[in-house]
Structure 1
Amino acid sequence: MQRRRLIEGVGSFLCGVVLSAAVYETGLRRPGGEGEAAAAEATGELATAGDPAPEPEAPAISPADASGEAPAIAADTPEAPADPYTPDANGTFVAFPPVYVAPPEWTPELEATFPRHGLVTGVATVVRERTERDAPILGILRAGARVRADAELSFGGGCTKGWHKVYPAGWICLNAGLEVADSPPDDGLVATPRARLDAAMPYEYWRVSHDGTPFFHRLPGFGEQDQADMAAKTWLAEHGRSLMPTTPSERPPGVPAVVKEYLNAGFYVTVAGEAVKSERKFLRTLRGTFARKYQLEQREGSTFQGLVLRGEDDLPVHWIVRETPLQRRSGEGEGLVKLEDKKPTRRSRHPFVRKVTVGNARFYEDAEGNLMPEYAVGQSYKLKRPPGIGPEEKWVHVDLSEQTLVAYVGDRPVFTTLVSTGKEPGMTPVGVHRLQSKHIATSMRDQPVEDDAYSIEDVPWTQYFHNNVALHGAFWHGGFGLVRSHGCVNLSPPDARWLFGFTEPALPDGWHSVTPSTGRFGKASAVVVTE
């Protein structure tokens, strides 16, 4: 199967050892450093969004077709089962596991410990283990999150405005963006859309369609736009697709101060709203910048969904990963005949019963004698639980040769789907790993000189398990079942959302990310990667 992995290395994207700024908004820059969220603790420079944007309502789920495609799952409705392990008629899930730990009963003891109310106003507010700016990060909260806080400020540790202890754990520096009062602060201070937790896509995603697209600090005038466009044209002519520096002192003199940065075609941003100036439409990003709408294109992401497994008899599952006709033996020697009228669709399932060798090639064969080349099939199979994983633990198995994922509770498989892993051997590390951090969304950027530079704001449902390598949703392609990434394990957005709620630990109520490697939130789920 190694040969199959090598011939699939087309269309690579995202993650792995080339990642240079994996977590823009979380302050967990990989490797080293703590990024912009940590800097906000010291400087008090808070990034808040512009005008309020209403949260769009996601559509309710409908049954998948034979290929496993279905609309993204929306918020719970009276008709939707609450059990995420209940499949529909096609075997796909009809509900997501919860993202958050169920809030506790608020006892008098908790009220006495955390009597005050907090509202997060920073784009990414860090929760630290101690009142020190270099203390381990327990998690991240985004603008609009509400917390309960202790009564008195604590000072020191590099935070000029002081720290508050928050429920259920950790400390927040007020410089990073936190309003605290005796009663809940007015959320009119925040104008950032909340993540849609019961949808496959937590935010609205748009692709940059033009090289050198300017993103502005504020809505620009016609003259400023023309000046920005001329500067971009000149830069592209001299430097190609290399990104222009964001530091004003390092830019050419013709760039107007209203430009925050330039992005190239193929980069992605998350959009919080729309604005109009001088009859021209602009999109406002979650980071508070503006870009002309005609230079971006909205992306919805694949609706492919994996299978909920009812029992051990559900495995193996055979997925069609290349759309090729079934074949049969000709009856004369080992000759084969393609059955052009029997071509299963890609990402559908077929009931193969065994592997056979015909000549020098390997095939899967069904009960009727129909054959499919081995390289065109991905198999989900049952793996023995590795040592160190408990009999009731939730864990995940990724097979690099098959490009499949199976989720388990102890020895019982409960879910399986297709994935896309690293395009080259070694990019997705083999072994037994534990989740290091979980993020509802986190930004990833790599800017090499070659053509596969990328910048993606708010990659959804990201779960790091080995350095820069993560499980996450991929809305920019639908090639699941074929290798594609720089090392990460790409899933469809619905599958990534399901898996995010399945793995442990769950996030504290209202948090945007959590760092289970600190040991403060229980044992993290294992991710087992095999060849």
Structure 2
Amino acid sequence: MQTNIYSKPSDTARKIGYLRLGAIVPRSEKAFGSEGCTGGSWYGVAPRGFVCTGKNATLEIDSALVRAASVRPDASRPLPYAYGFIRAVAPLYLRLPSKEESLASEFKLGEHLAWWERKGHETNRAEHIGANDLAREVIPDAPQVPRSDTLADGILLGGRTEADPPPFWLETGSRKIPNVSGFEVPAASIFANRVRRHTGIAFVGAFNTGPQWDNRRFAITADLRLIPVDKVKPEVASAFHGVELNGAQGIKLPVAFAKPCNPNAKGTPRPCVRTYHDDGGNLKRTTDVLPTRAFLELTGVQRKSKGTRFLETKSGAWVRASDVGVAVVPQEWPQAAQKGERWVDVSIEDQTLVLWEGQKPVYATLVSTGQDGLDDPKKSKATPRGTFRVRSKHITATMDSDGRSAVSGGAAPASGESPSAEDKHAGSFELRDVPYVQYFQDGYALHSAYWHDHFGLPRSHGCINLAPIDALRVFRFTDPPVPDGWHATNVEQGRGTSIVIHR
């Protein structure tokens, strides 16, 4: 699925990034030798580094595998792939299964298909607008797309239309390209592994079949395996995002966001923050309830009433400080601010994130940090506090319930994100191709969360969860950028953007 990029034409040189399956990048005309490059030669790639052709890379851009992987992650969108959650345990097919093969491979398939015939098509539509729909409110060059809640599931799973034909490498039902999933099986195998219920998957297409395959529809995963569409619930993710500061609208700190109420395990955030008005020196609660995560401009004035701290909004209303996530100018400037560098400010108590250019704030939003708040991250699911630097950036990376991730260049981190399944079930599950991952210490990262909409509440197992639109905004803000065509870049020590995490 990937090939490493090295700082020098040597497999012992530092790994500076990697390309994902299907990536096409400019290369040098001449090779730089072949030592340490089994079956191939070293070529320089843009804008820097060297790749070994042979097992994991080719100069033949018209090869079947490169053409099969022609749908690449779109880093102009909050969701670089199409996404979905597995609704029932499913095989990851390598080729199109016959009806008999499907019945033999899938548990209680007859009952499942009967349910699908009755209710499946309506349950597979998006229930709300998604992250890609509102991206242009924050990301000016994001593509204009149709509303997610108007699209059929084939398109939501990456198809060009609702009735795409099978791809060229499956036209006869058999597979014309190798299995690149990393899960090795005999050549005659129908499928390569199974996927558990509630697993999050990235998709690059969906297509219809004919009577020979029981007219079943299939979605194509990013690693070119197949999952029946009836086993997948499309996910369009939260459309929430933060606000630009010191821009055309003149918004300045301090600002706040109304926090969502803490829902039950399967609930959705609901509005619960009340406003108060000054009644002869006493603050009295009004009947107004602010929308979930409502944005509030503050005057900076605060007061106590009956032992409770209140903040004044520019509209004249008051809110309880405990009901909102506040973004303020820090009392002391970190070193990055004093040097005029870009830096990221994260407050665990307020669940807010602010992007800074020196001492100028440029963006503010809500996040979800570790669910154990200010506890010791070595002994709990808390986010570490301190000053860190971005160590690597990935367009997407896979994270699982052991807090480990498929990052390039060594063993997976032993701590950090362990995405829990409060939205899906009581346990935990694998989340594939999590977008816009930025590691700053061990397995701890800033990253998008397409699986929940509870930003403003502590939720993760240690990482800093961002709504997808915010995750792309932050990913573009931090240095260094991921070069065009690359899937990830590793950062030299001390060169990445500073991240300051505090109470």
Change (3 A) 1:173 1:208: same
What SS class does the counterpart of residue 452 from structure 2 fall into? Answer: coil
Which residue pairs with 2:359 in the alignment?
A: 411
What SS class does the counterpart of residue 126 from structure 1 fall into? Answer: strand
Change (3 A) 1:222 1:385: same
Q: 1:222 and 2:222 equivalent?
A: no
How far off its partner does 1:228 sit?
1.9
How far off its partner does 1:507 sit?
2.1
Change (3 A) 1:317 1:267: same
What SS class does the counterpart of residue 402 from structure 1 fall into? Answer: coil
Select the residue among 293, 301, 304 that pairs with 2:229: 293
- Of the structure 1 ranges 200-209 and 224-233, higher mean CA displacement relative to structure 2 is found in 224-233
Amino acid at match of 1:282: F
Q: Partners in 2 of 1:417 and 1:423 — Cα distance?
A: 18
- Does structure 2 retain, via aligned residues, the 8 Å contact 1:138–1:515? yes
- Does structure 2 retain, via aligned residues, the 8 Å contact 1:315–1:381? yes
How far off its partner does 1:222 sit?
2.0
- Does structure 2 retain, via aligned residues, the 8 Å contact 1:435–1:517? no
Change (3 A) 1:518 1:151: farther
- Does structure 2 retain, via aligned residues, the 8 Å contact 1:447–1:454? no
Deviations 1:321-342 (A, max 9, x none): 132222357769x7x75322x1
Q: 1:435 and 2:390 equivalent?
A: yes
- Of the structure 1 ranges 146-155 and 494-503, higher mean CA displacement relative to structure 2 is found in 146-155
Which residue pairs with 2:131 in the alignment?
A: none
What SS class does the counterpart of residue 465 from structure 1 fall into? Answer: strand
Cα root mean square deviation, aligned: 3.0
Deviations 1:288-311 (A, max 9, x none): 111111110111111112111117
Amino acid at match of 1:273: G
What SS class does the counterpart of residue 496 from structure 1 fall into? Answer: helix
The 5 A counterparts of 1:349-368 are 349-353=295-299, 354-366=301-313
Q: How many corresponding residue pairs?
A: 382
Deviations 1:154-197 (A, max 9, x none): 2233634333233332221223432227xxx4376322212222
Q: Partners in 2 of 1:509 and 1:371 — Cα distance?
A: 47
- Does structure 1 retain, via aligned residues, the 8 Å contact 2:342–2:356? yes
Which residue pairs with 2:3 in the alignment?
A: 125
Q: Partners in 1 of 2:337 and 2:322 — Cα distance?
A: 31
- Does structure 1 retain, via aligned residues, the 8 Å contact 2:31–2:41? no
Could you state the TM-score of these two structures normalised by the residue count of structure 1? Answer: 0.66
Change (3 A) 1:399 1:153: same
Q: Partners in 2 of 1:515 and 1:500 — Cα distance?
A: 14
- Of the structure 1 ranges 323-332 and 312-321, higher mean CA displacement relative to structure 2 is found in 323-332
Q: 1:175 and 2:54 equivalent?
A: yes
Tell me, which stretches of 5 or more residues in structure 1 are unaligned? 1-122, 234-245, 250-255
Tell me, which stretches of 5 or more residues in structure 2 are unaligned? 111-182, 261-271, 404-417, 421-425
Select the residue among 508, 518, 528 that pairs with 2:483: 508
Q: 1:379 and 2:317 equivalent?
A: no
Which residue pairs with 2:409 in the alignment?
A: none
Amino acid at match of 1:456: L
Change (3 A) 1:368 1:227: closer
Q: 1:149 and 2:28 equivalent?
A: yes
- Does structure 2 retain, via aligned residues, the 8 Å contact 1:310–1:414? yes
- Of the structure 1 ranges 309-318 and 375-384, higher mean CA displacement relative to structure 2 is found in 309-318
Select the residue among 496, 500, 503 that pairs with 1:528: 500
What SS class does the counterpart of residue 400 from structure 2 fall into? Answer: strand
What SS class does the counterpart of residue 457 from structure 2 fall into? Answer: coil
Q: Partners in 1 of 2:389 and 2:492 — Cα distance?
A: 8
Deviations 1:198-243 (A, max 9, x none): 2221110011112x2221222222222222224999xxxxxxxxxx
Amino acid at match of 1:317: V
What SS class does the counterpart of residue 280 from structure 1 fall into? Answer: coil
What SS class does the counterpart of residue 103 from structure 2 fall into? Answer: helix
Deviations 1:232-267 (A, max 9, x none): 99xxxxxxxxxxxx7779xxxxxx942322222221
Which residue pairs with 2:273 in the alignment?
A: 324
Q: 1:456 and 2:435 equivalent?
A: no
Select the residue among 339, 343, 357 that pairs with 2:289: 343
What SS class does the counterpart of residue 201 from structure 1 fall into? Answer: coil
Q: Partners in 2 of 1:232 and 1:150 — Cα distance?
A: 53
Q: Partners in 1 of 2:46 and 2:185 — Cα distance?
A: 40
Q: Partners in 1 of 2:303 and 2:400 — Cα distance?
A: 44
Q: Share of identical aligned residues, percent? A: 28
How far off its partner does 1:476 sit?
1.4
Amino acid at match of 1:343: V
Q: Partners in 1 of 2:228 and 2:214 — Cα distance?
A: 12
What SS class does the counterpart of residue 147 from structure 1 fall into? Answer: coil
